[in-house]
Amino acid sequence: MNTATLYGIKNCDTVKKARRWLESRNIDYRFHDFRADGLEVGLVDQWLAQTSWETLLNKRGTTWRKLPVHTQDSVNGTTIVSLLVEQPTLIKRPVLTLGDTILVGFNDTKYSALFKEHQ
């Protein structure tokens, strides 16, 4: 079985929830902290090949609200990659990858289905 990778920031409550969920089920995973480990254009491109940028972008967070309005208004499929790499806290967290599957955000039911599928 492939090893799952959980992407996020360690002090995010939703990321903590996802990590607890994985650990309580003894699921082997690697944690990638955007702040400590950085974020590469190629990785964001891979995610966007599997999900929409609208799904990946967190418009409810502080980082989004602090962006200038003209930046918010100009976000699109072309500008999103550089924006997310520059400010990874704009990514809805956590992002979980396992094989060719990507899940954005934490959802107990979706996590259960994904790991059942990959047993």
Enzyme catalytic residues: 12
CATH label of the domain that carries residue 39: 3.40.30.10
pLDDT-based confidence at 2, cuts 50/70/90? confident
Q: In this structure, what are the phi and psi dihedrals at residue 7, rounded to the nearest 5 degrees? A: -110, 140
Domain count, the chain: 1
pLDDT-based confidence at 1, cuts 50/70/90? low
Question: In degrees to the nearest 10, what's the CA dihedral of 105, 54, 90, 112?
Answer: 10
Residue 10 sits in which domain range? 4-117
pLDDT-based confidence at 20, cuts 50/70/90? very high
